[in-house]
Every structure is written in structure tokens, then in C-alpha cells.
Amino acid sequence: MGDVRAHYLFTNDMRDSVLDSKAQEFACMFLNNTVPSANDNKSLNNSANTIGFYLNLINKGNVALVAANGDIRSVVLNFIKTFQYPNPRTKDSFIATVRDGIQLAPMREIIKILFLYNQIFPDKAYLTIDEIRHFVFFNEKIAFCKTLNRVEVINDIETYRASNELPSCIVPEDERDWNYESRQLSCFLGIMAWSGFIDIDKDGLVKLVIPRQDDLQYKAALLEVIMFNEYWEYGEIDINYISTEAFNALRTSYFNYCDQFILRNDKLNAIATSDIPSTPRQRIFFGAPGTGKSYSLNEEAKSLVSNKSNHIERVTFHPDYTYANFVGSYKPIMKQSDIACLDDDSKKVLSVLNNRTITTQEKYDALYESFKSTDGLTRLPIILGLYFDDSFETKKEDGTKASNNNSVERNHGRAIRKYVQLLSEESYKEKIAYEYVPGPFIRLLVKALQNPEAPYVLIVEEINRANVAAVFGDVFQLLDRNNDGESEYSITTTADMRAYLQRELGKDKDVTTIKIPSNLFIWATMNSADQGVYPMDTAFKRRWTFSYYGLDDEENNLSAAAIKPRFELGKSNKLISWNSLRKAINDELSTDTYNINEDKLMGPFFLKEEALKDNTSFNEAFKNKVLMYLFDDVVKQKRRSFFNCENSNRYSSICNAFDREGIKIFPDGVVNSKWLQEDESTISEDGEPRVTEV
């Protein structure tokens, strides 16, 4: 085995499925200095800094501004043409690549080779993934050479296809170091496919997308990549010792290099001088059950509002949910009794005044001491005069008879009786009253208007379980936001809503019409696989940013309890991991036999951590949740072929068979799945040992 001659490091986080939403979201976070610390949210901090490095958002320069404005295609184009090795992702990876003598801009190099291939051998103009590995990343004529002869490389590839022998310029396998090579290479290609430069066919052949004659925008982008030949120059450095300060300077230099080549669009100058666009205002997190939608939404919402719980309101839609629930309406409410807000002393006075078993004189005598102690003896005759017409004798503080029995005060009380509402026995009762009762939308709207500098998030769980057109009603008009994040159009308020808003916001506030302010976000989760969901019309969908959570996108965040084979099912002694079994079942359900849509498959968090604490908990949770879900929702029409047991149309029979046979109740495709074969220990990207299934 030779010495390692080629080191590469990339990431698993740059999935093309989340480029749009994540790039814009993280750009806004960097520009607004709202990236959470690792202590507050380790996962989000890691994702933001990883994507922020590769797309050059950390620098808060031109690229970040373009991304924040939503022009992600221009950001990715800049990434494809400028990303190179060496780069200062980490100090160790930078030093290793410099020592190797590598200088490679891999994505633009793949495009250039494919473009030239189309000119020379148009009928053979493709690259296999293995050819990209060998002839781009590990080719001395490409990765280690500053003067490139791509025609010679193409001829080498043709010779290799004919002979199946690699030329001597290719670095041997045992002299390569690239953890997660296959996965990260797929990530590179996924980004290029997302950008529209390449297409990967069903046989895995990578081909250049040939521009149409009238597609001037794509032609310009392709030409920009093909003609770009710059490299980041890091200058003279002592790679045996790079201080933290020196490494930070290298990163700044690299960021500035990448930033200077972004194609500025017409809006960039306006963006630079105006408020920074924020995270998408209306956003729907969707994917199969258990993919982590709700968790991710909650974590991002908490990060956005800096963990201020009173800045988030959560509501769950259901088939009976209405506009009145969501926005608000005039409703009957129980009002507390008139005396509920009084202090104890006042309540004692009222109890004496309303006591029908004693005379007015006895009431005076009963209240004399308490009013005497508060210098209120002159007020007591007024109060009794308010309530009663009969006479009573009054006393001074020393107990002697008062002059004229305080007749003046008593008469004052009787005179003003018609102008006041006396508290009586009826005042002790709660009453039904009608008031405008705001829903979660109006409640949070008021908070956002009262505090315009702070973000507020309204979270709607299961948004498609209600008829959204009916629930949102005229609020639908407010979902069109302008560049500042405020509603483009307003709606007219009803009289009862107007009265409520003025009571909360102040009489001087004009609330004849309302708009959603830029600091109010509405985020939702959706799972189209659920039974009893309502369809969304295109006009409604168009006003939302959709963040898709792929079936296995978040499995890297699973705990060891979910990954390690540690559960015995049935009478088998074979240890099985939850994640392996889940993937085996998903693969079988995806075959032509069942042809189940992805949104009905199971994500890694379909079972909660509590279900994985021990063997008993797992078996019970698997029966009560997984088997029930498969039985009721997924294979409802094909139970006999999916469940290998007698009476497979009875859930109880399936559970009993599972207790005896374990995974043998499933088809052979599950039992013999590659995911359930022998386990082996591997090393994760962060250097920690990890058990994975192969």
C-alpha cells in the first residue's frame, strides 16, 4: 500500500432537495446575525455553517445578498464555477490538499470535459460516475496539473472504455483518502443536475444538457462556466504551522475570491441599500410521516424568535376547523361576576348590605368598626342611603350620637341612587355575554403590530386536514407579500374585528383595513399520505414556499438506539435495528408489487425515542404503531400478499404472528433485505465510531 496522495473533503448536507429554501434561509440568518450557537441548536448551527461555507454566505457579501433575495440559481452557478480544492473548509483538509499538490475546480471541470466531449465524440458524450472519480478527482493530468489538456483526457477515457485498464496517471485506490466518497460525489452531481447543466439518465450516465437554440439564459450560464479559468491563490504559507489568525485570514481571502465573481442582477443594488429580506414568510414543511418535519419547523421557529415562547402560537387544523376558529368571530362567552374583581374587604361590605335578615340599623352597626378604622364613617351613611330608605342612627368615632344622624350624607346617597348601578345578589352570578373572540391569526397579528421589530411565528400543524380555502377565507388575499415581506394587498375588517383591534392597538390606530406585517411568519406542516386530507388549489400553493423532507434526509440525526442492531423480534435471536427494518420495509413497499408512494413510507422518526429504550418497548411500539399504520393505511388493499400469516385481514392475527415469527411475517424482500444483513463498524465524518447496516 502506497502513501496517500489525494485527500478530499466535502459534505453530506448540500442536498439539492433543500437548496432553494436552505440557501435563502441561511443567507438571511447570516446577514441578520441570527445563526444560533452550537449550544442553542447544534444541528441548525452545523447546517448553517456548512452550507454557509460552501455557498459563501458566511462572508455576508454579494453572494449572501443575492441568496437572501431568492436568486439561488445565480448563487449555485457561482458555486459551480468557483469552488475548488484546496479550500479552507477545515485547517487539516486544507493542509492535506496543499501537500498533495491538488488544484481542482471539480464541477466546472466536469462540465468542460462534457462540453468538449460533445464536440469530439457527440455520440459518446457522457461520463460514468466511476469515470468522474478516476479521470477528474484522481487524475494527475487534471487534479494535479495547472496546464490542462482535456482532449488528451478524453482520449484516455476512450482507451479505458475499450480496454477496461486505467492509465498510469490515475492515482491508485489505496493512495486515495475520501470519506463518504460515493455519497459526496453524488451530492456534487445532484447540485449540478439541480442547476440544469447535467442530466443523469437511468443507467447512471452523466450527460451535458445541450441548450436549445432559443434558451439564451442557459447559453449564457454555460458559457460563463466554460470560459471561467480563475483559481484562488492563497500565497506563500508555512503549512507546517498555520495559526488560528492566519487560517481565519485564509478563509476571508477565499470568501472574497468567491464573492467577486457572482453575477449581480439588476436588483442587487436595491437589495444592498434596503432592509434584508428575511426567511420565507409562508412556508410548508412536507414529507412522509416520521421525516422530522414538525421537529425541524419547531427548531427553526425557536431560532427565528430567539427562543421567546410567547412569540410563537401553534394551532392544529382538523376537518371541523373554520374561519371563525382561525381568524375570530362574535361568540357567547361566560363573563365573571361583577364582584369577582373586588378585594375581600369590599366583598364583606357587600355581603352585609345584601343580607335580608337584618335591619338597616343592624347593617350600620355591623359595618361601623371597619369604616371607623379607615376614617370612612362619613361615607357609611352615603352607602346605606344608596341602598335603603328607612332611617337609622349614626355615631361619631367616640361612640356618641352623631348630629342629625348624618342626614345630609344619607340624603346624598338617596339622591344619586338613580345614577349608579348597585351591586346586588345578582352580581354574584356569572353571565353570558357576546364578544369578539380572536383566533390564533388575529392574536398573533396584534402582537406583531405592537412589536414590529421582533419576529412572530404562527405554526399550523396538519394544514391540509382542513379545507384551507374556507379556513383562510379573505385572509388568502393577505398571503401575497411584497419584497419587504408585508402583504401586497389589504382586506377590510368587520365592525366587531375593528372594535377588538382598536381596543388592543389603541383608538388612534386605523384598522379599517389590515395587512400582514413583515415580522409575522406563517409556517405549516403537511403530509398528503394522511387519510381524510383536503386538496389544496394551485393558487393557494403558489403563495407558499415548500420545504420537502426526503425519506432518509434526516437519518444522520438518529440516535445510536435507532441505528444499532439491538432488538429481538419474535423468537429469533438475530438483533435488528429500527432504522434497518424501516428501510427494508420501505424498499419492499416501493417495488412494483405494491407501488406505494413515497409519502406513505416511514421516515426515521416514525417511532419516537421512547419506543427504543428497550426490547419490550420497541416490540409494543412496533405492533401498535408500525403494524397498525401498515395495516390501516399502507397495504389496506394488499394485506394478504404483504403479511405472511393466517387471517391477514385481522390486525390481531398479524400481531400474534409477529410475537411468534418476528420479521418473518413480512415478504421475503424484507426478510432478505440488504439492510438486515451483517453489520459492520465504520467511522463517521466527525471521526466517531458508528454502526451502520450494509
Task: Write down the pLDDT at residue 557.
Answer: 85
Say what percent of the chain tops pLDDT 90. 49
- Grid coordinates representing 514 are 389590515
Residues 255 and 287 occupy one common structural domain: no
Range of weakest confidence among 1-15, 17-31, 103-117, 417-431: 417-431
Residues 440 and 377 occupy one common structural domain: no
Residue 20 has pLDDT above 60, yes or no: yes
Question: End of a domain among 428, 450, 476?
Answer: 428
Whichever domain contains 321, its CATH number is: 3.40.50.300
Contact 12, 556 (CB under 8 A): yes
Contact 19, 191 (CB under 8 A): yes
Residue 327 in any domain: the answer is yes
Residues 539 and 565 occupy one common structural domain: no
Question: End of a domain among 428, 450, 466?
Answer: 428
Residue 544 in any domain: the answer is yes
User: Helix, strand, or coil here: 163?
Assistant: helix
Residue 338 in any domain: the answer is no
Residues 658 and 572 occupy one common structural domain: yes
Which has the higher per-residue pLDDT, 4 or 680? 4
Residues 72 and 129 occupy one common structural domain: yes
Residue 553 in any domain: the answer is no
Q: Are strands 6-7 and 176-177 parallel, antiparallel or unpaired?
A: parallel
Distance separating alpha carbons of residues 178 and 6, to the nearest angstrom: 8
Q: What is the pLDDT of residues 25-50, one digit of tens each?
A: 899 999 888 898 888 888 888 989 99
Residues 268-290 have a mean pLDDT of 65
Share the mean pLDDT of the chain.
86
Domain assignment of residue 318, given as a range = 282-332+433-548
Which has the higher per-residue pLDDT, 686 or 619? 619
Residues 316 and 363 occupy one common structural domain: no
Residues 457 and 372 occupy one common structural domain: no
User: Helix, strand, or coil here: 301?
Assistant: helix
Question: End of a domain among 548, 576, 598?
Answer: 548
Say what percent of the chain tops pLDDT 70. 90
Residue 670 in any domain: the answer is yes
Residues 627-637 have a mean pLDDT of 92
- Half-sphere exposure in the Cβ direction for 24 (13 Å, CA): 20
Task: Write down the pLDDT at residue 337.
Answer: 58
Residues 573-582 have a mean pLDDT of 91
Task: Write down the pLDDT at residue 680.
Answer: 38
Residues 255 and 320 occupy one common structural domain: no
Task: Write down the pLDDT at residue 269.
Answer: 36
* Structural domains of the chain, count: 4
Task: Write down the pLDDT at residue 432.
Answer: 65
Residues 367 and 316 occupy one common structural domain: no
Task: Write down the pLDDT at residue 12.
Answer: 81
Highest mean pLDDT among 215-224, 361-370, 453-462: 453-462
Contact 639, 604 (CB under 8 A): no
Residue 94 in any domain: the answer is yes
Residue 1 in any domain: the answer is no
Q: What is the pLDDT of residues 318-361, one digit of tens each?
A: 999 999 999 998 777 666 655 666 777 888 888 888 888 899 88
Residues 574 and 689 occupy one common structural domain: yes
Q: Are strands 679-683 and 689-693 parallel, antiparallel or unpaired?
A: antiparallel
Residues 175 and 268 occupy one common structural domain: yes
Residues 479 and 522 occupy one common structural domain: yes
Q: What is the pLDDT of residues 537-559, one digit of tens each?
A: 888 888 998 888 888 888 888 88
Residue 182 in any domain: the answer is yes
Task: Write down the pLDDT at residue 274.
Answer: 38
Q: What is the pLDDT of residues 286-320, one digit of tens each?
A: 888 999 888 889 988 988 888 888 999 999 999 99
pLDDT-derived band at 192 (thresholds 50, 70, 90) equals very high
